[in-house]
Amino acid sequence: MKQLIFIQSCFILFIACQAIDPTVICHGGAGSVDPSRYVGKFKGTVLAVQLGYQKLKESGNALDAVEIAIKSMEVDENFNAGYGAVLTSDGEVEMDACIMDGSNMKVGAITGMQDIFHPITLARRVMEKTKYNFLGPKGAMDLAKKEGFEFLPKGTLATQRAKDSLERWRQAQNVSLGEMVGEGGTVGCVAIDANGNVVAGTSTGGLTGKMPGRIGDTPIVGAGTYADNYMGGLSATGTGEVIMKSVLIYDILKRVNLTEITIQKAAQDACDEMLERYEDDGGVIGVDRYGNTAIAFSSEQMSWAYQNKDNEIHYGINKGDDFLYNIAECKNKNCFV
């Protein structure tokens, strides 16, 4: 009888694993986004998801999928990561990134990066090429040189939008209007393959006008980025100081695995509670171990997109959004709302 129960359990587990739809879900940052910027955010997140999903279907490798999706947003000035990253109070770009593989619990994180296009790739190199989880500026930059990364001329990553945002921030300080961070945000991606392997990654330029050396939640495991095949994976965006205090992502995954609530409800509850307790907002995207998705935020907007079917991508930015992008129909025309 015990043997029969064991066989039945294995069969159920096998069927459950086979039923997982490969999924890629990305966000383009939480915060207050002007409507004139919506289409740029839509295009960027949809492209990131499409590239990630193609890679996932081709290779079956969730790690490659997350990296390529985030890389596409790191070269898109519509996002606060890589080219387009916001500036410190000194007018410099300082970037953080993290990637975590839920199949083996390996992680790579970096902070304070300058003059490279793809912090997420360097974070992956930390994970794969060193015995460490987290490297600060000197160690990470030394690794980038060793690994042959291209170093850009100083100031290349500072877009005009980032410069204008910093100037508005400086003017606000001069008239004692308090701390204005402008449009903040982060980019992130989570993927799960057909076997239930989960990977999460996040990349950011931080906050406009931040103190040089400031580190946000992005590279903090369990706060801004986390993946575990037994629980799921998430990437966070928003005000890093409160996301760190909340240990937001780990809190969400524990809620799911210790209770019977869905990952969507757990994520929205955690974001709402963070806003109520700390009076600051944020958001997350992710999947549980079965591939169920979560898109939750307490900020005014958060751009997001996901794909788990060959020809359809869902996307949005405001609460209640769920727009459908049909890849075949939209190939040669602008289909964004």
Which residue has tokens 């794969």?
128
C-alpha span between 315 and 66 (Å, rounded):
17
Catalytic residues: 186
| Contact yes or no for 249/102 (Cβ under 8 A) | no
| Contact yes or no for 172/92 (Cβ under 8 A) | no
Residues near 317 by Cβ (< 8 Å), separated by ≥ 6?
Answer: 33, 38, 41, 42, 301, 302, 303, 304
Q: What is the 8-class DSSP label of residue 92?
A: -
Which residue has tokens 């990977």?
199
C-alpha span between 207 and 204 (Å, rounded):
9
C-alpha span between 235 and 187 (Å, rounded):
8
Q: Please, where are the H alpha helices in 240-313?
A: 240-246, 248-258, 263-278
Residue 81 structure tokens: 């990561």
Alpha-carbon distances, residue 259 vs 229, 294, 308 (angstroms): 17, 16, 26
C-alpha span between 95 and 79 (Å, rounded):
12
Beta-ladder partners of 25: 190, 306
19, burial (CB in 10 Å: exposed 0-12, middle 13-18, buried 19+): exposed
Ordered DSSP codes for 159-204:
-HHHHHHHHHHHHHHHTT------S---EEEEEE-TT--EEEEEEE
